[in-house]
Amino acid sequence: MKYFFRPQLLLLFLFIYLSSCAGNSKTDSASEVARWKEQAARVTLLRDDFGVPHIYGKTDADAVFGLLYAQCEDDFNRVERNYLWATGRLAEVEGEEQLYSDLRARLYMTEAEAKAEYERSPAWLKQLCQAFADGINYYLHTHPEVKPKLLTRFEPWMPMYFSEGSIGGDIESVSTKGIKAFYEQDRSMGFHKQGHGMQQPGLLEEPKGSNGFAISGKRTASGNAMLLINPHTSFFFRGEVHAVSEEGLNAYGAVTWGQFFIYQGFNEKTGWMHTSAYADVIDEFEETIVKEDGKLFYRYGEELRPVETQEVTLAYKDGDALKKKTFTTYRTHHGPITHQNGDKWVATALMWKPVEALIQSYTRTKKSNLKEFNEMMEMRTNSSNATVYADANGNIAYYHGNFFPKRDTSFDYSKPVDGSNPKTDWNGLHTLDETIRLVNPPNGWIQNCNSTPFTAAAEYSPKKEDYPVYMAPSPENFRGVHAIRLLEKAENLTLDKLIELAYDPYLPGFEVLIPGLVKAYDAQKPIDPKLKAAIEVMRNWDYAVSKESVAMSLAHFYATNLLRDGSAPKGHIMERFDYYANTAPAAERLEIFSKTIAELEQDFGKWNTPWGEINRFQRLTGDIKQPFNDAAPSIPVGMASGNWGALASYGANRYDTKRLYGTSGNSFVAVVEFGDKLKAKTILAGGQSGDPKSPHFNDQAQRYADVKFKDVAYYREDVEKRAKARYKPGQKQSK
């Protein structure tokens, strides 16, 4: 039989083939949705009377699926932005000004490297990463009204970018200005007055850190250990969550949007609080670059090593258009080249072990005792933080950092070192036993307020001479001074008394600064009668902040103006306050105080304006960069800046307004008591939801200002009693 070619048949076969392919695609999609629904059926979400999600899953992966779904319900905007930032795609949404933030992210990890890290993860971690992606994707599938700015699909390798806890962590210390100068303008930035090229916070910037107190049973009414969890972050940076599984997970606390582990929190047996240690764990290596035959090398000892190069193309939004820019990036064995100092290229080395850091961050939430916690800490990937610990066995502990490269102490690593000298290289990591730790000091308390660990437990603190200088370069601060005074006198603490202690209104910075002002006034001849009334207010002040305090208003602006405009030599705030109290010319002190009075009169109509009229809490929208308006409702707040020694930090500024509005400081705060049955209380700035239409957008605002903590529903029976909504992911919330 003869066969004849017919074009019509070819077209028919082609149509059938393409239809078959399309059908497979739809089947695959349907299969994925079916998988999501199957997992959602194993998850129960309970929302309590403050909107806190309590997620119950059969497995840890089920709990992670529900946790990410719940986070997206509360604030998908912040979940997405955190991953835009972490994966280096922020400029595609926010424009060219974010291009060098994106380049910084890509210098440390590309998408291909993130995928490779995911592939080398243990199977159980892959399951959690897949559940992370599935939980978000199922949320987007069931909420078509939600329009992502860019990320319409999340992938299981994305957590590799965001594994160590604090988004930003170490990488935000790398200056984007230096990256731009090197990669766009081919110029040297030099080093700033601190002698290096890393980012430095402004002198008047609210300290980004935290307070952590661990209290043994010696100091508590019940005889049980207690923990204060008091992170100082930007407001609405973390949500409050509770994740439970039948595989032993039962963790409660604060989760940074988009993470699948509780970052600062507790389970029934252990609690962990991270403070910023400000240890020296990031180093800059000045590389000597040699060009031969058109190729780049760097000198290392007697050899020339090739500089690794890679092309990176980034997109950025320009009006309605999307433009692209390609960079050739450079790397040595020390790390990526991040900036230039004179003719030296500078490589910045930091901890970058995504898989290990993610394992440590997650497994931390399931530890049951100090031995297990120490075994977890042996992983040594918690690089940017110190850890304050307490447990149900009565133990308290403190770890000042966790990741410490071994260095040759003949070099000063607080400044860039010569990368061509092999002796400057990192030589492995210090073991946990070699790092600064405290366990069960006899005084019965431990504190860290981003201050030196050498006062963490009064006379039982670690000794400075026992450790390399790079482990603890941070000086004391006014918050540390304040905490020590209170804890030395603390007895018979209850949760309520611990809250009272953590919000003690005294400001030790002003006990240093203000007497110097009064002394300057008393010494002047002739006496200036215009200052008399205001000086008398300051003379009689007890250095405590309150909404009613006029002295607080005067002191805040006086200190701010001194630090901004005064003549003090460089130094940290404690040194500058001492200078203005004892050394600065009396005329300078009085002149700046006079300007402060005039400023208050101009902005508020009178110099004797109570602090609560000035210092406010306002939440008008769910925007990440929120607007403020003096004409809109706001709440008076009787808290103050941590710069002045306030334990309950409240960082407030003007935003084209006359009033000050808080944006950072106390955000999520918890007090926890361990024992036969766990007890805890928490407060969250504003509320759980980022949606202004939600009843939980601002339902904790007044409680926050009044320091009225809510009881935590930790045990299932308590959660059931307070549940206002019960549902499965994909369903509407219903009682």
* Per-residue tokens: 192: 């700033």
* Per-residue tokens: 51: 């909107």
Report CA 153 to chain centroid distance, whole Å: 25
**Predicted pLDDT of residue 208:** 75
Phi-psi region of 320 (alpha: psi -120 to 50; beta: other; left: phi over 0): alpha
Residue 194 half-sphere exposure, CB side, CA atoms within 13 Å?
Answer: 13
Report CA 526 to chain centroid distance, whole Å: 51
Pick the CATH number of 30-161 from 1.20.140.10, 1.10.439.10, 3.40.1190.10, 3.40.225.10: 1.10.439.10
Nearest to 730 by CA among 41, 83, 155, 260: 41
What does the pLDDT average to over 645-654? 97
Backbone angles phi, psi at 228, to 5 degrees: -100, 125
| Alpha-carbon span 561 to 350, nearest angstrom | 36
Contacts of 321 (CB under 8 A, 6+ apart): none
Nearest to 731 by CA among 138, 258, 153, 255: 138
Q: Kindly list the domain boundaries of the chain, sorted by start residue.
A: 30-161, 214-253+261-280+361-503, 283-349
3 state SS of 333: coil
**Predicted pLDDT of residue 223:** 98
What does the pLDDT average to over 534-554? 98
What does the pLDDT average to over 701-727? 98
> What CA–CA distances, in Å, run from 596 to 45, 125, 518, 727?
52, 56, 15, 55
pLDDT tens digits for range 131-142: 999 999 999 999
* Per-residue tokens: 663: 């944006």
**Predicted pLDDT of residue 226:** 98
What does the pLDDT average to over 48-75? 98
What are the DSSP calls for 695-710, one per residue?
Answer: TTSSTTHHHHHHT-PE
Q: Answer whether the bond into residue 526 is a cis peptide, omega within 30°.
A: yes
| Alpha-carbon span 456 to 439, nearest angstrom | 11
What does the pLDDT average to over 476-489? 97
* Per-residue tokens: 498: 């611990």
Report the side by side order of strands in the sheet with 264-266: 437-439, 396-399, 385-391, 270-276, 264-266, 250-256, 238-245, 53-57, 43-47, 725-727
Backbone angles phi, psi at 79, to 5 degrees: -60, -50
Beta strands 295-300 and 303-306, pairing class: antiparallel
What does the pLDDT average to over 377-387? 93
Taking the CB of residue 199, how many other CB atoms lie within 10 A of it? 13
User: Secondary structure of the chain: what % helix, strand, coil (to 5)?
Assistant: 40, 25, 40
The yes-or-no verdict on residue 81 having pLDDT over 80 is yes
Contacts of 233 (CB under 8 A, 6+ apart): 208, 210, 664, 667
What does the pLDDT average to over 383-405? 95
| Residue 251 bridge partners (DSSP) | 243
**Is the Cβ–Cβ distance between 475 and 245 less than 8 Å?**
no
Tell me the CATH number for domain 214-253+261-280+361-503: 3.60.20.10
Tokens 């000050």 -> residue: 660
Contacts of 65 (CB under 8 A, 6+ apart): 39, 40, 43, 57, 131, 132, 134, 135, 138, 729
**Predicted pLDDT of residue 16:** 35
| Alpha-carbon span 288 to 603, nearest angstrom | 55
| Alpha-carbon span 94 to 319, nearest angstrom | 10
> What CA–CA distances, in Å, run from 678 to 217, 257, 373, 711?
14, 26, 18, 11
What residue type is assigned to position 560 of the chain?
A: T
Tokens 């320009």 -> residue: 318
What are the DSSP calls for 536-559, one per residue?
Answer: HHHHT--SB--TT-HHHHHHHHHH
**Predicted pLDDT of residue 603:** 97
**Is the Cβ–Cβ distance between 210 and 450 less than 8 Å?**
yes
Nearest to 270 by CA among 245, 247, 246, 253: 253
pLDDT tens digits for range 244-264: 999 999 999 999 999 999 999
Pick the CATH number of 283-349 from 2.60.120.380, 2.30.120.10, 2.40.30.30, 2.40.50.140: 2.30.120.10
> What CA–CA distances, in Å, run from 325 to 311, 314, 459?
10, 5, 57
CA dihedral 286, 292, 297, 300 (to 10 degrees): -70
Contacts of 226 (CB under 8 A, 6+ apart): 213, 214, 215, 220, 390, 493, 495, 498, 671, 672, 673, 674
Angle of helix 573-582 relative to helix 550-565, nearest 10 degrees, comes to 100
What residue type is assigned to position 630 of the chain?
A: D
Minimum mean pLDDT among 54-68, 157-171, 173-187, 483-497: which range?
157-171
| Alpha-carbon span 628 to 340, nearest angstrom | 39
CA dihedral 564, 569, 571, 574 (to 10 degrees): -70
Beta strands 635-636 and 264-266, pairing class: unpaired
- pLDDT level of residue 474 (50, 70, 90 thresholds): confident
680 secondary structure, DSSP code: E
283 is in an annotated binding site: yes
| Alpha-carbon span 24 to 34, nearest angstrom | 15
pLDDT tens digits for range 497-516: 999 999 999 999 999 999 99
280 is in an annotated binding site: yes
What residue type is assigned to position 69 of the chain?
A: Y
For residue 202, with 0-12 CB atoms within 10 Å meaning exposed, 13-18 middle and 19 or more buried, which class applies?
exposed
Report CA 425 to chain centroid distance, whole Å: 29
| Alpha-carbon span 658 to 652, nearest angstrom | 12
Burial 711-727 (b: 16+ CB within 10 A, else e): ebbbeeeebeebbeebb
- Same-fold call for 214-253+261-280+361-503 versus 283-349: no
Nearest to 252 by CA among 714, 655, 698: 714
**Predicted pLDDT of residue 252:** 98
- pLDDT level of residue 202 (50, 70, 90 thresholds): low
Per DSSP, the chain holds a count of helices (H) and strands (E) of: 19, 29
| Alpha-carbon span 136 to 317, nearest angstrom | 25
pLDDT tens digits for range 95-124: 999 999 999 999 999 999 999 999 999 999
159 secondary structure, DSSP code: G
**Predicted pLDDT of residue 716:** 98
Backbone angles phi, psi at 448, to 5 degrees: -145, 130
Mean pLDDT of the chain: 93
For residue 588, with 0-12 CB atoms within 10 Å meaning exposed, 13-18 middle and 19 or more buried, which class applies?
middle
Nearest to 239 by CA among 262, 217, 222: 262
Burial 297-317 (b: 16+ CB within 10 A, else e): bbbbeeebbebeeeebebebb
**Predicted pLDDT of residue 337:** 97
The yes-or-no verdict on residue 167 having pLDDT over 70 is no
Active site residues: 210
- pLDDT level of residue 425 (50, 70, 90 thresholds): very high
- pLDDT level of residue 10 (50, 70, 90 thresholds): very low
